[in-house]
């Protein structure tokens, strides 16, 4: 067991009747880390967070905080706090009364509660005049900040977040993503964040865990998961991707049913007799032309062009399916839909995903 981790999960199983929602989950979270769990609906994210905050009981396994098992501690006695998607603020209370609520439960003196509430308003960059403002008079972003201030009033060792930004509009969500990351840095608290949004995870997290069917498929920093996924599931879950079947014969010669491969090209982790998927992200695929030679090329028909703000995305129909190419708007392709084009990329920008034999 890693004694340096703040939070440790060992063999965590959760069953609902005959259905197993979590399948022997192991996890270490370091103190002060911003750790995000992402996955599709039904992957086990919400079940896991409910176990961590004490809303549900384990079927098997253990959850440790430092040297003690918190799965055996009642939820109200754990040094943790949850920020829900619904925020769960008290609408009949003022901003200050909402923030002070945990301190009132601890029977702290009114003057001390007020002082702490004003400190937290400062921390969350809300004017102190908001202390007497009704929750119903606050905007969505302001309510988010009040919910965070109330959570911090508990002075928890870990803050858990269950998709707190999902109900907000895009612009406000982007602002609060940056504010949450900044708040994490300023408080030094450990944040464990649940979301279905890869964009949120990539912007804010120190590490990301990808969940699939009750287990973690991969845990790593964002750049590693994006550029070196361990499976097709992770590769496709982390955004637009092109995947090509690849194999090597017993002599090490690399072949593909779709790609034309330049002689002498090597692929990391593709051993003689092995097979799998060669991954290349759309931003690394180029349109061939001139004297430039690529390690891998293929020809297809320009199927569509889509504007994505500063970028242009192209779909190329090939014998092996659709391939996606992404370019900056200033480098727009001078070709029409239906034209035949050749695209290429080099081995250095690929990642090989081995498949079991």
Neighbours of 236 (CB within 10 A): 13
Domains, the chain, with CATH or none: 5-227 (3.40.50.300), 241-354 (2.40.50.140)
Distances (CA, A) of 92 to 23, 95, 132, 184: 42, 10, 12, 29
Distances (CA, A) of 340 to 315, 337, 343, 345: 12, 9, 10, 17
Residue 96 and residue 117 in contact, taking contact as beta carbons nearer than 8 Å: yes
Pick the closest to residue 37 from 171, 285, 216, 286 (CA basis). Answer: 216
CB-based contacts of 79, cutoff 8 Å, min separation 6: 65, 156, 157, 158
Report d(CA 26, CA 225) in Å as an integer: 18
| Residue 334 dihedral angles phi and psi, to the nearest 5° | -95, 75
Tens of each residue's pLDDT in the chain, 357 residues: 455 799 999 999 999 999 999 999 999 999 999 999 999 989 999 999 999 999 999 999 999 999 899 998 998 888 998 888 777 888 888 999 999 998 998 899 999 999 999 999 999 889 999 999 999 899 888 888 898 899 999 889 999 998 888 877 888 888 888 889 999 999 999 999 999 888 889 999 999 999 999 999 999 999 999 999 999 999 999 889 999 999 999 888 899 999 999 998 989 889 899 999 999 999 999 998 777 889 999 999 999 999 988 899 999 999 989 999 999 888 888 888 899 999 999 999 999 999 865
């Amino acid at each position: 067991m890693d004694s340096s981790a703040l939070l440790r999960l060992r063999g965590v199983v959760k069953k609902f009747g005959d259905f197993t929602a979590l399948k022997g989950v192991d996890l270490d979270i370091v103190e002060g880390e911003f750790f995000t769990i992402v996955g599709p609906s039904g992957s086990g994210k919400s079940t896991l967070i409910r176990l961590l905050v004490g809303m549900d009981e384990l079927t098997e396994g253990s959850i440790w905080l430092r040297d003690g098992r918190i799965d055996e501690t009642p939820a109200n006695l754990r040094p943790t706090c949850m920020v829900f998607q619904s925020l769960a603020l008290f609408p009949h209370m003022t901003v200050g009364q909402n923030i002070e609520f945990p301190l009132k439960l601890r029977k702290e003196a009114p003057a001390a509660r007020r002082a702490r509430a004003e400190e937290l308003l400062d921390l969350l960059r809300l004017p102190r005049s908001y202390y007497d403002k009704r929750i119903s008079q606050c905007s969505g972003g302001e309510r988010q900040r009040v919910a965070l201030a109330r959570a911090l009033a508990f002075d928890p060792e870990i803050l858990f977040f269950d998709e707190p930004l999902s109900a907000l509009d895009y612009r406000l969500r982007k602002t609060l993503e940056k504010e949450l990351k900044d708040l994490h840095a300023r408080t030094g608290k450990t944040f464990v964040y649940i979301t279905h949004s890869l964009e949120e995870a990539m912007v804010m997290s120190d590490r990301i865990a990808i969940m699939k069917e009750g287990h973690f498929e991969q845990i790593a920093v964002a750049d590693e998961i994006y550029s070196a996924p361990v499976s097709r599931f992770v590769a496709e879950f982390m955004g637009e991707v092109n995947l090509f079947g690849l194999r090597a014969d017993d002599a090490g010669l690399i072949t593909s049913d779709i790609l034309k491969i330049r002689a002498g090209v090597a692929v990391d982790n593709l051993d003689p007799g092995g097979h799998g998927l060669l991954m290349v992200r759309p931003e690394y695929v180029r349109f061939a032309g001139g004297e430039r030679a690529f390690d891998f090329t293929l020809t297809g028909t320009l199927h569509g062009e889509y504007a994505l703000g500063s970028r242009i995305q192209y779909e190329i129909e090939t014998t092996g399916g659709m391939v996606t190419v992404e370019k900056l708007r200033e480098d727009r392709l001078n070709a029409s839909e239906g034209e035949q084009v050749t695209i290429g990329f080099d081995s250095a920008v690929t990642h090989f995903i081995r498949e079991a034999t």
